[in-house]
């Protein structure tokens, strides 16, 4: 299955490359100077670029998902074939929308995007099931992390299709925003999965038990404790004060979970092997940092009242 997985991955790359090539060849060259013809070609190129961004995002999500597994199952194979089959229809719907931009063609394009994204989510879910077959907790964590990322995307998709009915040309801009937002949200969700996978088994279980809305607080606490050495945990009433003696400083080469600046995010390594950096950061955490992280999960597990949350929990 390892060899089949590699060949299927290469097959998917080839199909996506062919899809992009077909769309380029579908743009008719200008054989006689005419401003209306040039404007029509510019419109076609613009719509092509929208689909190009969408296909590129699908390629990126697909490549990073398959990089997480060494073998595959028949469930993954079935969803992969279905995903590629539907994705290969994008040149047709792109050409229809470019040549005849009406509410029908624009809505059909939006529906096609939505169907492709839905099928890919099922494919990604099958990959995660394969990756964490023996880790039910991490499967729950995946559903919550990617659920947080996919909810706004689903809302944007519905809004785009509704807008297409009334303002088809405006809806085209939504179709450009969708893959960009999808790329950003899923890149952050992928980073969250790496952070969760690097946690000790008991903390993974605690994380799986937390509601999805608490994951933002978890990342803030983990970044403050492990990257900066700060303590975002305030003891609840009746709890003893933690040892105030600072432990060794956190490793200086440990990358923060969320970059402070846009430029820092752009310079992050997108390679899946980045997870090794994250694992080392947790391994190198001193005893005080480990205790603070365990205390944070303990307080969430006990359902500490909001009145006892610290200043850091609100910022």
Average pLDDT, the chain: 80
Residue 243, pLDDT above cutoff 90: no
Task: Give the pLDDT confidence score for residue 226 in this predicted structure.
Answer: 72
Domain-terminating residue out of 97, 120, 138: 138
Q: Are residues 134 and 39 in the same domain?
A: yes
Distance CA 258, CA 278 (A): 12
Question: Which of 12-16, 54-58, 171-175, 274-278 shows the lowest per-residue confidence on average (mean pLDDT)?
Answer: 274-278
Domain-terminating residue out of 113, 138, 163: 138
- Between 103 and 300, the higher pLDDT residue: 103
Residue 110 is assigned to a structural domain of this protein: yes
Task: Give the pLDDT confidence score for residue 234 in this predicted structure.
Answer: 46
Tell me if 285 sits within 8 A of 226, measured CB to CB: yes
Residue 146 is assigned to a structural domain of this protein: no
Handedness of CA 136, 76, 53, 98 (dihedral sign): negative
Q: How confident is the model at residue 192 (pLDDT cuts 50, 70, 90)?
A: confident
Give residue 151's Cα distance to chain centre.
12
Length of the chain: 315
Burial pattern 100-129, b for ≥16 Cβ within 10 A else e, equals: ebeeebbbbbbebbbebbebbbebbbbbbe
Residue 303 is assigned to a structural domain of this protein: yes
Residue 23, pLDDT above cutoff 70: yes
Q: Are residues 128 and 244 in the same domain?
A: no
Residue 95, pLDDT above cutoff 90: yes
Domain-terminating residue out of 107, 138, 169: 138
Task: Give the pLDDT confidence score for residue 248 in this predicted structure.
Answer: 42
Question: Which of 58-67, 132-141, 229-238 shows the lowest per-residue confidence on average (mean pLDDT)?
Answer: 229-238
Task: Give the pLDDT confidence score for residue 148 in this predicted structure.
Answer: 82
Q: Are residues 127 and 246 in the same domain?
A: no
pTM for the structure as a whole: 0.76
| Across 250-255, average pLDDT | 41
Residue 181 is assigned to a structural domain of this protein: no
- Tens-digit pLDDT profile for residues 143-161: 888 888 888 899 999 999 9
| Across 130-136, average pLDDT | 75
Domain that holds residue 310: 225-314
Residue 270 exposed, middle or buried by CB count within 10 Å (0-12, 13-18, 19+): exposed
Domain count, the chain: 2
Question: Which of 91-105, 121-135, 223-237, 276-290 shows the lowest per-residue confidence on average (mean pLDDT)?
Answer: 223-237
Q: How confident is the model at residue 139 (pLDDT cuts 50, 70, 90)?
A: confident
Phi then psi dihedrals of residue 127, to 5 deg: -65, -45
| Run of H or E including 88 | none
Q: Match 């080469």 to its residue by tokens.
A: 253
Q: How confident is the model at residue 121 (pLDDT cuts 50, 70, 90)?
A: very high
| Across 30-52, average pLDDT | 93
| Across 181-186, average pLDDT | 88
Residue 260, pLDDT above cutoff 70: no
């Amino acid at each position: 299955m390892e060899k089949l997985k590699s060949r299927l991955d290469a097959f998917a790359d080839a199909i996506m490359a062919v899809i992009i090539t077909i769309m380029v060849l579908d743009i008719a060259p200008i054989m006689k100077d005419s401003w209306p013809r040039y404007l029509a070609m510019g419109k076609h190129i613009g719509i092509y670029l929208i689909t190009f961004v969408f296909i590129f995002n699908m390629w990126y999500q697909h490549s990073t998902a398959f990089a997480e597994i060494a073998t595959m199952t028949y469930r993954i194979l079935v969803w992969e074939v279905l995903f590629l089959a539907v994705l290969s229809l994008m040149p047709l719907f792109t050409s229809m929308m470019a040549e005849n931009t009406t509410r029908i063609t624009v809505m059909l394009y939006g529906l096609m995007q939505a169907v492709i994204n839905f099928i890919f989510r099922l494919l990604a879910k099958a990959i995660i099931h394969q990756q964490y077959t023996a880790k039910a907790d991490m499967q729950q964590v995946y559903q919550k992390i990617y659920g947080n990322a996919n909810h706004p995307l689903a809302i944007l998709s519905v809004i785009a299709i509704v807008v297409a009915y009334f303002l088809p040309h405006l809806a085209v801009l939504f179709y450009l925003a969708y893959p960009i937002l999808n790329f950003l949200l899923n890149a952050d969700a992928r980073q969250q999965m790496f952070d969760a996978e690097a946690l000790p088994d008991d903390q993974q279980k605690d994380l799986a038990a937390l509601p999805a809305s608490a994951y933002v607080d978890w990342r803030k606490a983990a970044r403050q404790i492990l990257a900066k050495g700060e303590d975002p945990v305030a003891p609840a009433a009746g709890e003893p004060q933690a040892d105030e003696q600072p432990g060794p400083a956190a490793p200086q080469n440990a990358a923060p979970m969320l970059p402070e600046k846009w430029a820092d995010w752009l310079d992050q390594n997108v390679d899946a092997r980045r997870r090794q950096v994250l694992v080392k950061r947790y391994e190198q955490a001193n005893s005080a940092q480990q205790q603070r992280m365990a205390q944070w999960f303990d307080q969430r597990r006990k359902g500490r009242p909001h009145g006892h949350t610290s200043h850091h929990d609100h910022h």
